[in-house]
Amino acid sequence: MNDRSPNRCHGPLIRAKGSEIGPNDTGSFSPHGPKIKILTMEDDDIIRRSMAAYLVDRGYTVLEAPNGRLGLEIFRAEKPDLMLVDLRMPEVDGMQVLEAATRESPNTPIVVVSGVNATAHAIEALHLGAWDYLLKPIEDMAILLHAIETSLQRAWLIEENRRYQEYLEESVRKRTAELEKTNVALNAEIAERKRIQAEREKLIEKLESQNSELERFAYTVSHDLKSPLITIKGFLGVLEQDLDAHLGGHCAGEISEHMTRIGAAADRMFSFLEDLLELSRVGRLVNSPSDIQMGELAGEAVDLVGGPITASNIQVCVDQNLPVMRGDRVRLREVYQNLIENAVKYMGDQPDPKIEIGMRRGKGEAAVFFVRDNGIGIDPRSQEEIFGLFDKLDPASEGTGVGLSLARRILEVHGGHIWVESEGDGAGSTFCFTLASPK
Ligand code: ADP
């Protein structure tokens, strides 16, 4: 008998190591290796012995019982792999043996070898659990052998099936336990994420409240500082008139120059405060959103900067096929206006100055609006810095350094963002921005 290892087959055990029964290499159930035990219950000594001799010759281990009572005792003590049972025996007959053995060990094959050629007997025997029914005398022992092998094979299949079932149940149990473990881990992770999310939301809320507090502060400060400035400017005028009156109609040169400087500084401070005020308003004062044809909006902004554009003889090209977007019209026009004003201001001595306003499709097909100039360009290292409050690359240039911060804030409020693309000195600049809600 061949002892097959479970690893030779997929997944389920075909046969556990050490199992007594199993097919040999040719698939038959003739025993090799560990012997298969057959118990023969037969009261006729000659028949019993001849069957036993034949089976021993075939390699089986044979246990013999001359009657049913002894047979059952051996059956319980030795647990044979198969039983050959005669129906007519003294003390305990074959039917009783069948009944008891089937009840106690339903998977032990029992082949009835009967001298009674009666269908009713055969039916009853099969009904009581016999696996096969042979008639005596057995003229060809190959028939007996065949019945034994077939029953052993069936028993083996039943056992394999049971093992396979067990294997499946065990696999399901294991997998369920694993899944439960994963589930617990997942639940813990979900809880942790929820906690982090709640913490984040709290933090954002706190930041937003701090931000609006700062905006309120900037608003109050810039607003309140404007009135003393207006007073300074006013009294500067009065002072000028007084001096004119005292100094006979005109201010002395040096005094006049100092007063002009005071006036210019006050003007400059005034525009700082105006810009700051504007910036502080962006997050708070929201005009109700409307549908905006972006080409039209850019055209309006170009008109607002018409004077400087004409003065610098700049060619402006606006793509009229820009899409419709939803947003705060006034604020978005300010963005365009600021970018166009900058394009004019930082054109340098370009002999053929040009500004192009258009749109391209970015990642995920989002609309990227741009204002491109062929002016002085921006060093890649400074391209982030210019969006900071009061940041200017040339401190001597006119302007407060607030414009791009303002544009960035407006676009943030619209769920978009702004950036610049430039290869540096003399290469021109392209300011790009996105908005959250395409129409
Ligand atoms: P301001 O123009 O008032 O200085 P902005 O915030 O609008 O302030 O711009 C910040 C700085 O970015 C500018 O001072 C300038 O150095 C640089 N800049 C902005 N736009 C351009 C441009 N189109 N070309 C080159 N440099 C630019």
Average pLDDT over residues 300-311: 95
% of the chain with per-residue pLDDT over 90: 60
For the CA of 371, the closest atom of ligand 1 is 23
Whether pLDDT at 17 is above 70: no
d(CA 56, CA 64): 12
d(CA 289, CA 276): 23
CA 24 remoteness from chain centre? 52
d(CA 74, CA 66): 11
Which 8-state DSSP code applies to residue 13?
A: -
Provide residues with CB under 6 Å of ligand 1. 338, 342-343, 346, 373, 375-376, 378, 386, 391-394, 397, 399-405, 429
Q: How far is the CA of 386 from the centre of ligand 1 (A)?
A: 7
Give the type of residue at 320.
Q
Of 9 and 326, the structure prediction assigns the larger pLDDT to 326
**Residue recorded with tokens 């039943």:** 158
Residues 6+ apart with CB under 8 A from 71: 39, 41, 65, 83, 85, 89, 92, 97
**150-198 per-position pLDDT tens digit:** 999 999 999 899 999 999 999 999 999 999 999 999 999 999 999 999 9
Q: How far is the CA of 266 from the centre of ligand 1 (A)?
A: 22
Instruction: Write out the H or E segment, with its range, that includes residue 264.
Output: helix 253-282
Average pLDDT over residues 389-408: 84
d(CA 114, CA 147): 14
Are 17 and 35 within 8 A, CB to CB?
no
Instruction: Write out the H or E segment, with its range, that includes residue 199.
Output: helix 141-246
Q: What pLDDT shows up at residue 15?
A: 35
Q: What pLDDT shows up at residue 25?
A: 62
d(CA 19, CA 5): 11
Q: How far is the CA of 384 from the centre of ligand 1 (A)?
A: 11
**47-93 per-position pLDDT tens digit:** 999 999 999 999 999 999 999 999 999 999 999 999 999 998 888 89
Band the pLDDT of 213: cuts 50, 70, 90: confident
Measuring from atom 4 of ligand 1, which residue has the nearest CA? Answer: 401
Q: How far is the CA of 364 from the centre of ligand 1 (A)?
A: 29
For the CA of 393, the closest atom of ligand 1 is 16
CA 285 remoteness from chain centre? 39
CA distances from 381 to 384, 393, 406 (A): 7, 11, 21
Measuring from atom 1 of ligand 1, which residue has the nearest CA? Answer: 401
d(CA 190, CA 197): 10
Calculate the CA dihedral of residues 76, 77, 78, 83 and round it to 10 degrees: -30
d(CA 371, CA 329): 17
Whether pLDDT at 325 is above 90: yes
Band the pLDDT of 32: cuts 50, 70, 90: very low
